[in-house]
Amino acid sequence: MLGGQILHGGDYNPDQWLDCPEVLEEDVRLMKEANVNCVSLGIFAWAALEPEEGRYEFDWLEKIIDRLGEEGIQVVLATPSGAMPHWLTQKYPETMQVQADGKRNLPGKRHNFCYTSPVMREKIYQIDSALSERFGRKENVILWHLSNELGGNFADSSCHCELCQEAFRNWLKEKYGTLDNLNRAYWSTFWSHTYTDWSQLHSPAPHGETTMTALTLDWKRFVTYQMSDFVRTETAAVRTHSDLPVTTNFMYFFKGLDYGKMRDDLDIISWDNYPFWHKTKDEVPVAVRAAANHNIMRSLKKQPFLLMESTPSAVSWREFNPIKRPGMHMLSSMQAIAHGSDSVQYFQWRKGRGAYEKFHGAVVDHKNGSNTRTFRQVTELGERLRNISGLVDGTVNRPKAAMIFDWENWWALEDASGPRLDISYIDCILDHYQAFWEAGIDTDFLNMDDSLEGYAVVAAPLNYMYKPGYAEKVRRFVEGGGIYVTTYFSGIVDDTDLCFTGHHPLADVLGLEQEEIDAPSGDFPNAFRYGEKEYPAGSLRELIHASEETKVHSVYEEDYVKGEPVVTEHRYGKGAAWYIAAEPDMEFLRSFYGDRLKEAGVQNALGTDLPYGVTVAERMGSDGRSLVFVMNFRNEAVTVRGTGKWADAESEKTYDGSLMLGAFECLVLRK
Amino acid sequence: MLGGQILHGGDYNPDQWLDCPEVLEEDVRLMKEANVNCVSLGIFAWAALEPEEGRYEFDWLEKIIDRLGEEGIQVVLATPSGAMPHWLTQKYPETMQVQADGKRNLPGKRHNFCYTSPVMREKIYQIDSALSERFGRKENVILWHLSNELGGNFADSSCHCELCQEAFRNWLKEKYGTLDNLNRAYWSTFWSHTYTDWSQLHSPAPHGETTMTALTLDWKRFVTYQMSDFVRTETAAVRTHSDLPVTTNFMYFFKGLDYGKMRDDLDIISWDNYPFWHKTKDEVPVAVRAAANHNIMRSLKKQPFLLMESTPSAVSWREFNPIKRPGMHMLSSMQAIAHGSDSVQYFQWRKGRGAYEKFHGAVVDHKNGSNTRTFRQVTELGERLRNISGLVDGTVNRPKAAMIFDWENWWALEDASGPRLDISYIDCILDHYQAFWEAGIDTDFLNMDDSLEGYAVVAAPLNYMYKPGYAEKVRRFVEGGGIYVTTYFSGIVDDTDLCFTGHHPLADVLGLEQEEIDAPSGDFPNAFRYGEKEYPAGSLRELIHASEETKVHSVYEEDYVKGEPVVTEHRYGKGAAWYIAAEPDMEFLRSFYGDRLKEAGVQNALGTDLPYGVTVAERMGSDGRSLVFVMNFRNEAVTVRGTGKWADAESEKTYDGSLMLGAFECLVLRK
Amino acid sequence: MLGGQILHGGDYNPDQWLDCPEVLEEDVRLMKEANVNCVSLGIFAWAALEPEEGRYEFDWLEKIIDRLGEEGIQVVLATPSGAMPHWLTQKYPETMQVQADGKRNLPGKRHNFCYTSPVMREKIYQIDSALSERFGRKENVILWHLSNELGGNFADSSCHCELCQEAFRNWLKEKYGTLDNLNRAYWSTFWSHTYTDWSQLHSPAPHGETTMTALTLDWKRFVTYQMSDFVRTETAAVRTHSDLPVTTNFMYFFKGLDYGKMRDDLDIISWDNYPFWHKTKDEVPVAVRAAANHNIMRSLKKQPFLLMESTPSAVSWREFNPIKRPGMHMLSSMQAIAHGSDSVQYFQWRKGRGAYEKFHGAVVDHKNGSNTRTFRQVTELGERLRNISGLVDGTVNRPKAAMIFDWENWWALEDASGPRLDISYIDCILDHYQAFWEAGIDTDFLNMDDSLEGYAVVAAPLNYMYKPGYAEKVRRFVEGGGIYVTTYFSGIVDDTDLCFTGHHPLADVLGLEQEEIDAPSGDFPNAFRYGEKEYPAGSLRELIHASEETKVHSVYEEDYVKGEPVVTEHRYGKGAAWYIAAEPDMEFLRSFYGDRLKEAGVQNALGTDLPYGVTVAERMGSDGRSLVFVMNFRNEAVTVRGTGKWADAESEKTYDGSLMLGAFECLVLRK
């Protein structure tokens, strides 16, 4: 566990207050009061660290690090590439991004840098290695925080300048070798877009190409590749005088970069979590969304991760920004720990006085010092985290269930023209995941590149793209006894978005062939029966043909597809492959996955059904036994029955047969 | 009849499959199986036909044409201007369009060419004439298909480059002679926009002029003129070695080009029909829309036309894309024949594997070969078309009713600021037309330039603009006994969008003057009585003053205009001119036009009232007798009563007194 | 009173009709018939006045002025900068605006000029002084009308060209002296945006800086400054040979320019009023909106103003454009007089035949001459205005109530990210003002720079920004016995948008501190009781802490803030400061302000409660006694009871105890 304890603290920007020494001194005092043990320094501080080209001013930073050290507060040290100083953009305008429309940005906002620009890379390398030299071996510095929310640039996360175009072309050459290969992969005969010279290749643009889906896909891959390359430049720089681990903070369902490709360049995964609590009275969809993101982060390295940012009260950038109701800050933070975080960090320690984020929630507000609801809630959480630090182990549990969640599938699926334009991969993923969450079953989220070994159940909804080798992997998984669930509009294209012809790549495993997919209007409902109930067939409905050995569990009840299969099961090897041909609703998914989990013998830690709003998650405890986090996301007390005997891990309390949870309460239990 | 039979087939892109000879061979086999007798080749094939500048590769095409010929399949041969190869855009960037904002496009998408560019014209002339030389006298090549869906460029259909600006200025000089004339026509004293030099004229632009409505109108006219000029270049090229007829495929209610102006440059009208079937349970509005478009195409030359594209199953570019329910493919295709088409062609024969349209419906899907619902439906239709080929004549009937539908009126009306900004010409046209369609009365759609001779009833709703000579034509029409119907906001401006002063140009014929037009909020309803019923006065309400001899049939029932006329009739010569001063609803239009048709003695072919969803259309039969197409657009069986005796033209069946039609059924009858 | 009478007339564009002398002669005849006594000439007439550079053609204008003079019609003479002639933009493209995205406009539309450009200033100076020389001492010319609706340019009202950037930088240097000062004020350490050279400063741009709120604010201030500077150039030019007063016509809640800063450069305030009458059945919100705007204009100089434009029937640019119902033209015009206007002028006298505004309402339409409803209504109003001219005095009453309405507060508040993004300052201002309007209490609208002396009640809702000195002014006001009302999210930032720390600047006066502000979803209602009733707490809810001496009148009834204060009163000196911590509804505001006005002894002129839809406004009468305008904005008759004795100022009628008003009627009374 990094720093030997669960980290509690957050982004700290003393560079905004250098002319107010009394504020800085108050900060340290308040941090102690709030049970803060770790802060992130230097994010967006380039202008303060290098006020003019080549002149580094690090003394102020050292003074603060030392002062924090005296008080036992650890430091996550950032590299400053998240925002560019004016001297840099003025002297080297080529370091600024060019947008898809071909226009070079002016200075401003953040993440405005071209990740290809040699000048940008040189300047960041120089300051990063200077930071490494000065601070890389400081006792209370524990982690490098590379840049900040990479790709979060108020635009499409990418730079379209000529340097990037050239790098893209080289990346394509490397990938395809010949234009013939590329043309075939791009199906470029369509609309006569055959490339006859590498120099004709250009990033997708509103005034240029947007209809060659494989090009769009490759451009997104290149952006991840090039950003990773930039990250490696920063890593090399901080490694010049330091062997501290590196991380960079990821974002919430961020489509701009394939985090699956970036994980290997990082020692620790960290991310920023801003759920929209209190959007409606029903907090479950928000809790599920946050849980899914936590699991994605944990699954990237199958290690604990760091919650690098969260708000202690409200954010400021949504249409409306509710303040967390009492209990929600504790619950939301404990949810992170439950799903594998080793920290609860905030953006931000103290609200700045000016500019864009001055109303974003912070531990310390503009007024009232420690005398605020928010400060007290933070303090209380800090105490609980300190107590819990000794209970959790530095590894994670390995769940028996997994979902396929793959960025490249996301990109390709949602760029497709047809059968609907409003298909949301994330919404579909979350619907399926919610069935697991409600059942209290922990679930990994896997790239198609990941191994399926060790899982009992794997769900792959809307698995439109099949990467090379993926079908074989699934085949082995089912053969070996796994239960595999997939849906309509899966297995459609290969990794350059070319449609499969002949047969579905898993036709033998699924025991079926797809014929056509209907995207009807709401005026044309359909339904199917599963078990005792009838469920609606949603807005996408495939017509499939099951093989003879395939068991058809449900058929369409209406319309021209009446009697055709919807839910099928095909035994293959020791396992079974299930197919859901029509878009299902939440109620069906609950029932369906309930059955699959029962078949697979996968149970939640409490061994009982959970009331709506309650879930459980397990973490390896430091004593080798599981710690069970029981969380109530309803704003009222609930009772969980049939739970057996449990001991409260944080108190002397014991429970027998049932658990009573208060509104937004989280219990941590041990057998 | 082109090719001696009703054509059945569609866009065929073997250039996408040249490296899969087995696919090409399978195509021919499947075409035969599907009763396909004609395919369109070469659309978007420039890159395959001229892989580098000046090097033509036509052998593959000849092989395919010959192979098709062996099997008795005819070929519509396209010129390849619909999409540009990369060598062309790279070497001659000036061939690409400049958008209204002044930015030159990058290569990509389709229809990205500047129709003024001499280089583009030269390059297309060269390849077109080479195609003409090689294929212009091939036995199974029957028609030139110039370009594809001209103007369908993902933008505003026009190019704003400097070459186009110069051509525009020359067109204006030609039209106006002097700047004085132009300034007067443009009312350019408004906002001091008096032109003092021709070089000051520029196309409308978001960052320039958008408020000089006559300039906007002239720019649209110029775009049609210049595109036609480009079409003539292509025609000249294909005519170098061929005397085959030429067509270009028009689009569904396409506002970008005035097809009325382009008809004379084409030998045959063809168009692409993509109705949004199954958008709601009520298919009638969609059927009416498709019928109107068919009639527009038929009316352009008053000849049979070709349905050049349609989908055999679903499209892929709408928000959601329903698959045609059983029967709808047959019905929708028969509707085209009924309204004057000599073909049912598809986009596309076979789904490509990649890029933007890979999910667009096709006869042959990615999988399952001929073993699909779609393929079977296509096959069945093909057989019916073959049987029907001998029954229809190569001319069209001349209906007794007509509607004025004029592109220039459309442009000017919807560009006007006031009285509402959301006026839809098409919606209004369709409402009025639906009354005819429901009554089973065929209707021509006329430009204001067309003759009104031979019609008994002419409807001209929202006839905002009066072109020179139009008022005189209407006057003669009514004088001669015609029934003329027009509405609020008609007769407002001349052809340069200058308001008429003094009197309405048809004040004498209509027997009224307009005073003011109100566009009230929904909070201020009004109504009028016609016959026995009260009808709502919609969102536009004119205050008019009827002359003494004018018969006022309806007056406003409410508000400050209570008692003022809404529906008026003025006898003029042997005819009558009707005016509807307020926006009416569908129910009123049914009743109103029912009365007018009765007065004019215009009856449908069955001589009886038709149930909702059923219509009839007549075509000249090859035996000189009318063929009557009875179509049921409801997804359930209906009975039409009071029909007299009929023989089924396709079978031995006879009917006496009533017709029973199945869901989505079309019968073809003869007396 | 300018011109010795209430002006009645409007924008007159004879330059559009110079080739129709019969129209010009008819105009004069119709003006006399319509009781028009004043027209505005020369607006947008640059091309007619200077058809080529340096060649002035003023004869036509003189002829018209003289002809009008013969008929006793006065002239407001415009300078022609509202729209630019083509010779100017063609020869000097730098005179055209550059948009925020960096693109230079093409010629077109209106207000396309760069207000910094020396060429533009020189050209306008030349023609303005030539106009001054020729017409500045004409007997019937009474006022200079500088340009037209400054900033109304179809974009963001500002020019971003390099000349403007440079002027902006100079303005900033002048304001801040040093970059250190600027950096501190801008909190530029946030996201490393520290400026190290003045040349790095640039206007906000979509592709540049949008997140530095103080920069955005300063840019808006600069735009007003620079536009004012342009206005002063025009003033200097017309003053070369004339000592007539100058005005420029302002607009309806126009955010682009700070009219508070511009008032000192003008002799007379004038503005253009286009309320959206008949948007719904309830006309009150529209009447309130118009009243507020009238009051803003009157408050700018605390003098009568001119209604420079209004429509006699409908406008043409809204989504739908209802025609004024009978009575509304009279009422809407009398409302202007009641609130301090000395004129009712129209856009436009006669509808032009072409271009963008040809369907905008006018006194004279395209047809029917004086034989229209509109013309008769105008004529009738003209007569009434003539009669009323002698009754009103050239000064205005001084109301006892005021509201703070400040452009800089508007800009800063709505640019803030958080707590909601959809906060509307105007909507909030109007809600509070409606309470005064319904009570018949006249209200000044003050900038924070204005004096609070003489008022009994001052309301300052959403007073987010506190300019320097403002807190002191309020403190003195309350100390001296005033009642001050303010709300949630007030007193947050200083004039460079830096948040106050420590205490609320008026903590001592208000007797409270703010802790946090919640922007909850609609799913989380809350409420508070005031008096006998419960009212909803809206979408913004502050948690505040009242001091011991503060009287808490209302508390939250629900949720985690249950029992915390909502409405508080703090006695301070001889007065009281009230705070409303949560967004209130209209019903609460009515009740709340009713109580405050009672406490302050402020009563309406009739001394009685007014029925919904009826309000009163007072003007100083020429006999030293108040004239009371009683207006009924309901489209039905109402009776006001308890009114005492009144004499009708326009007739012999007297009233005793009650007033009966017809639909949309306005009475003018004297004691």
Give the closest of C184, C186, C416 to A359, CB-based.
Answer: C416
Q: Is C114 annotated for ligand binding?
A: yes
Quote the distance between the C-alpha of residue A663 and its chain's center. Answer: 27
CB contact under 8 A, A314 and C518: yes
The pLDDT of residue B234? 98
Q: How far apart are CA C619 and CA A502, in angstroms?
A: 87
- Say if residue B110 carries a ligand binding annotation: yes
Binding region of A for substrate: 110, 148, 317
Alpha carbons B398 and B443: distance in angstroms, whole number: 9
Of B85, B280, B354, the CB nearest to A213: B354
Task: Say if residues C257 and C316 touch (Cβ distance below 8 Å).
Answer: no
- Which residues have C-beta within 8 Å of that of residue C5, sequence separation ≥ 6? C37, C386, C389
Q: Is A192–B44 a contact, with Cβ atoms under 8 angstroms apart?
A: yes
Write the residue in B210, B214, B496 that is nearest to C109 by C-beta.
Answer: B210
Distance CA B24, CA B17 (A): 7
Q: Given this structure, which CATH class describes domain C2-156+229-388?
A: alpha beta
Q: Work out the number of other CB atoms within 10 angstroms of the CB of residue A645.
A: 10
How far apart are the C-alpha atoms of A45 and C190, rounded to whole Å?
Answer: 8
Share of chain B above pLDDT 70, in %: 100
B609-629 pLDDT, tens digit per residue, is 999 999 999 999 998 889 999
CATH architecture of the domain formed by A2-158+226-388: Alpha-Beta Barrel (3.20)
Long-range interactions of A232-235: CB distance < 8 A, separation 24+: A232/A265, A233/A121, A233/A124, A233/A125, A234/A79, A234/A81, A234/A124, A234/A125, A234/A128, A234/A146, A234/A147, A235/A144, A235/A146, A235/A265
Q: Which two tokens stand for residue A456?
A: 């009992």
Q: Kindly state whether B179 is in contact with chain C, defined as any CB-CB distance less than 8 angstroms.
A: no
Closest partner residue to A109 among C184, C209, C499, by Cβ?
A: C209
DSSP state of C561: G
Q: Which amino acid type is present at position B357?
A: E
Please indicate if any CB of chain B lies within 8 Å of the CB of C44: yes
Separation of alpha carbons A657 and A642, rounded Å: 5
Strands A638-648 and A666-670: antiparallel
Chain position carrying tokens 């309350």: C478
Residues 455-514 of C with CB under 8 A from A: 496-504, 513-514
The pLDDT of residue B563 is above 90: yes
Q: Are A226 and A164 in contact (CB under 8 A)?
A: yes
- By DSSP bridging, strand B483-487 and strand B457-460 are parallel
Check C497 against A354: CB less than 8 A apart. yes
Under CATH, to which class is B37-268 assigned? Answer: alpha beta
A-contacting residues in B 294-333 (Cβ below 8 Å): 313-323, 325-326
A499 and B358: CB-CB below 8 Å?
Answer: yes
**Residues of B classed as catalytic:** 149, 309
The answer on pLDDT for B394 being more than 90 is no
Instruction: Tell me how far apart the alpha carbons of residues A121 and A229 are, in angstroms, rounded to a whole number.
Output: 10
Question: Of A234, A309, A583, A618, which one is the catalytic site residue?
Answer: A309
Q: Does B359 touch chain A (CB under 8 A)?
A: yes
> Which amino acid belongs to residue A468?
P
Hey, what's the torsion of the CAs at A66, A71, A76, A81, to 10 degrees? Answer: -50
Neighbours of chain C (3+ CB pairs under 8 A): A, B
Q: What is the mean pLDDT of residues A446-460?
A: 98
How many angstroms separate the Cα of A627 from the Cα of each of A296, A391, A393, A397, A620?
20, 8, 10, 10, 6
The confidence band for A154, taking pLDDT boundaries of 50, 70 and 90, is confident
From the list A20, A35, A643, the residue with the least C-alpha distance to A330 is A35
Beta strands in C20-140 (DSSP E): 38-41, 74-78
CB pairs under 8 A between B and C: 193
pLDDT in tens, C467-496: 999 999 999 999 999 999 999 999 999 999
Q: In this structure, are residues A108 and A90 in contact, taking their beta carbons and an 8 Å threshold?
A: no
A138 touches chain B (CB under 8 A): no
Q: Do C280 and B194 touch (CB under 8 A)?
A: no
Give residues 80 to 119 of C whose Cβ lies within 8 Å of B.
80, 82-87, 90, 99, 103-110
Interface check for B184 against chain C (CB to CB < 8 A): the answer is yes
Of A534, A600, A597, residue with least CA distance to A566: A534
User: B626 at the A interface (CB within 8 A)?
Assistant: no
Nearest-CB residue to B207 (from C47, C99, C368): C99
Instruction: Check CB contact of A280 with chain B, cutoff 8 Å.
Output: no
Q: Which of residues 505-544 of C touch A (CB under 8 A)?
A: 513-521, 523-524, 539, 543
Would residue C26 show up in a list of annotated catalytic residues for this protein? no
From chain C, pick out residues whose CB is under 8 angstroms from the CB of A46: 192
Q: What are the backbone dihedrals phi and psi of residue A215, each rounded to the nearest 5 degrees, phi first?
A: -65, -45
Return the SS3 of C612: coil
Across the interface, whether the CB atoms of C515 and A314 are under 8 A apart is answered no
AA letter at B246: V
pLDDT score recorded for residue C154: 85
Cβ atoms C131, C84 nearer than 8 A: no
- State pTM to two decimals: 0.97
Q: Which residue, among A229, A227, A262, has the nearest Cα to A247 in the 3D structure?
A: A262
Q: What is the pLDDT of residues B327-344, one digit of tens each?
A: 999 999 999 999 999 999
CA distance C140 to C130: 18
The answer to whether B428 is a known ligand-binding residue is no
pLDDT cut 90: percent of chain B above it: 97
Please determine, for residue A338, whether its predicted confidence score (pLDDT) is greater than 90. yes
Rounded to a whole number, what is the largest CA-CA distance in chain A? 79
B295 marked as binding residue: no
pLDDT means per 10 residues, chain C with 671 residues, are: 92 97 97 98 98 98 98 98 97 97 96 97 98 97 98 91 98 98 98 98 97 98 98 98 98 97 98 98 98 98 98 98 98 98 98 97 97 98 96 91 98 97 98 98 98 98 98 98 98 98 97 98 98 97 98 97 98 98 98 98 97 97 93 98 96 96 98 88
The 3-state secondary structure of C199-255, one letter per residue = HHCCCCCCCCCCCCHHHHHHHHHHHHHHHHHHHHHHHHHHCCCCCCCEECEECCCCC
Instruction: Tell me the per-residue pLDDT of B285-327, one tens digit each, with 9 for 90 and over.
Output: 999 999 999 999 999 999 999 999 999 999 999 999 999 999 9
The distance in angstroms from the start CA to the end CA of chain A is 23
SS3 A381: helix
- Do the first three CATH levels of C2-156+229-388 and C401-600 match, i.e. the same topology? no
- Residue B155, pLDDT > 90, answer no
pLDDT at position C18 is 97
Q: Please say if the pLDDT value at position B154 is more than 90.
A: no
Question: Mean pLDDT throughout B533-546?
Answer: 98
Q: Is B218 a residue whose pLDDT tops 90? A: yes
Measured between CA atoms, how close is C591 to chain A, in angstroms? 28
Which residue numbers of A belong to the known binding site for Zn(2+)?
114, 159, 161, 164
Query: Does the beta-carbon distance from B560 to C325 stay under 8 Å?
Result: yes
Between CA C370 and CA C380, with CA C374 as vertex, the angle to 5 degrees is: 85
Buried b (16+ CB within 10 A) or exposed e, C642-660: ebeebeebeeeeebeeebe
Catalytic residue selected from C149, C408, C542, C665: C149
Distance CA A243, CA A234 (A): 13
For residue C499, which residues of chain A lie inside 8 Å, CB to CB?
Answer: 351, 353-354, 358, 366
Q: Where are the beta strands (DSSP E) in C89-204?
A: 141-145
Strand order in B306-309's β-sheet?
B249-250, B270-272, B306-309
On whether C161 is known to bind a ligand per the annotation, the reply is yes
Share above pLDDT 90 across residues of chain A, in percent, rounded to a whole number: 97
> Does A309 qualify as catalytic in the annotation?
yes
In this complex, do C197 and A90 lie within 8 Å of one another by their Cβ atoms? yes
Backbone angles phi, psi at B494, to 5 degrees: -90, -170
pLDDT tens-digit profile of A24-72?
999 999 999 999 999 999 999 999 999 999 999 999 999 999 999 999 9
Encoded tokens for B102: 């002044």
Measured between beta carbons, which residues in chain A are less than 8 angstroms from residue B664?
none
CATH superfamily, region C614-670: Golgi alpha-mannosidase II (2.60.40.1180)
CB-count exposure of residue A636 (10 Å: 0-12, 13-18, 19+): exposed
What pLDDT is stored for residue C56 in this prediction?
A: 98
Q: What does the pLDDT read at residue C466? A: 98
Q: What are the residue ranges spanned by the domains of chain A?
A: 2-158+226-388, 401-600, 614-670
pLDDT digits (tens, 9 = 90+) for A352-386: 999 999 999 999 999 999 999 999 999 999 999 99
What is the strand order of the sheet A7-12 is part of?
A246-247, A141-145, A74-78, A38-41, A7-12, A343-346
The residue in chain B having the minimum alpha-carbon distance to the alpha carbon of residue C19 is: B184
Contacts of B108 in chain A (CB under 8 A): 193, 202, 205, 208-212
Over residues A600-627, the mean pLDDT reads: 95
d(CA C309, CA C350): 13
Q: Which CATH class is domain B401-600?
A: alpha beta
d(CA A600, CA A481): 9
Out of B187, B500, B521, name the one closest to residue C279 (CB): B521
| Phi, psi values for residue B309, rounded to 5° | -140, 145
Task: Give the pLDDT of residue A9.
Answer: 98
Q: What integer pLDDT is reported at residue A394 of this predicted model?
A: 87
Tally Cβ neighbours within 10 Å of residue C527.
16
Sheet of strand C483-487, all strands in order from the earlier edge strand to the far edge: C443-446, C401-404, C457-460, C483-487, C575-580, C565-572, C551-555
What's the rounded Cα separation, in Å, for the pair C102 and C204?
A: 11
Angle separating helix axes C425-439 and C407-415, nearest 10 degrees: 130
Of C234, C309, C542, C564, the catalytic one is C309
Distance of alpha carbon A198 from alpha carbon A170, whole angstroms? 9
C38 assigned ligand-binding residue? no
Nearest Cα neighbor of B278 from A392, A521, C119 is A521
Q: Is C615 helix (H, G, I), strand (E, B) or coil?
A: strand
Lookup: tokens for A96: 């600024």
Nearest to A397 by CA among A604, A598, A249: A604
User: Which residue type does A59 have?
Assistant: D
Q: Do A191 and B82 lie within an 8 Å CB cutoff?
A: yes
Residues A114, A233: contact at Cβ < 8 Å? no
**Share of chain B residues as helix, strand and coil, in percent rounded to the nearest 5:** 35, 25, 45
On chain A, the residues whose CB falls within 8 A of the CB of C218 are none
Instruction: List, as ranges, residues 150-169 from C with C-beta within 8 Å of B.
Output: 154
